[in-house]
Structure 1
Amino acid sequence: MGTSGCPWESACTLPLGDTTGLVYAHLRAHNFIHNHSARAGCPWPLCSREMRWGNVARHILERHLRMRVQCVFCGHTYSRNEALQTHMNVCMEVSHLAYRQR
């Protein structure tokens, strides 16, 4: 999906990125730093969601940037890599069986 503009500072030229690592790097650049297991509010403007700091980047990617991952076999999309991997294990078997039955 690519990158998105910074919601905290209009003059910021750093991309938010499309991975949790890049989101955390961007948050650190704006001094949003917490203990990974500490509870914290989402720093996104107008978001009042509270969670463990270790989940903030994934929350931003899923809820605010609407990042999705897509199955290469059927095109179905998911907001989390874990869900995609579970789906692809089944989808790959179904695709393989359908191909073998031709």
Structure 2
Amino acid sequence: VHPCDWKGCRMHIPVELKQVSKHLKQHHDINTSATSEDTEKITCLWSGCLDTHTKPGNLSRHVLTRHLGVRWICSHCQSSLSREDAFRRHSLERPNCQ
């Protein structure tokens, strides 16, 4: 778990994408499952950050990787990747990397 620093919230949130999305929806009224056609750009209100996102779903991933420090580490080459999709792609393209 990690403290949320969205507008000084300080509630503790689990370091999982679904839980970050759930927290943003329940406590900050942000629907991260909305499509970009449904909403306007969303500004990250984490302390010290003003990144804007056109897709609400990207906001949860942004919080998870940028503010909660989640990384995916390759067990073969020890590469550190900030996004799960990049880790999956790395694993598929280089299954036995060194």
TM-score computed with the length of structure 2 as normaliser: 0.75
Q: Conserved in 2, the CA contact under 8 Å of 1:71 and 1:88?
A: yes
Match of 1:78 in 2: 81
Match of 2:22 in 1: 25
Q: Displacement, 1:66? A: 1.6
Which one scores higher on RCO, CA 8 angstroms, separation ≥ 6? 2
TM-score computed with the length of structure 1 as normaliser: 0.72
Greater helix share, 1 or 2?
Answer: 1
Identical aligned pairs, as a percentage?
A: 28
Q: How does 1:83-98 map to 2 (within 5 A)?
A: 83-94=86-97
Match of 1:56 in 2: 59
Match of 2:4 in 1: 6
Alpha carbons of 1:92 and 1:55: their partners in 2 closer, same or farther (altered >3 Å)?
same
Gaps of 5+ in 1: 96-102
Q: Conserved in 2, the CA contact under 8 Å of 1:19 and 1:61?
A: yes
Q: Displacement, 1:4? A: 0.7
RMSD across aligned C-alpha pairs, in angstroms? 2.0
Give the greater-gyration-radius structure (CA). Answer: 1
Distance 1:24 1:45 in 2: 18
Gaps of 5+ in 2: none
Match of 1:98 in 2: none
AA partner of residue 42 (structure 2): A
Q: Displacement, 1:94? A: 4.7
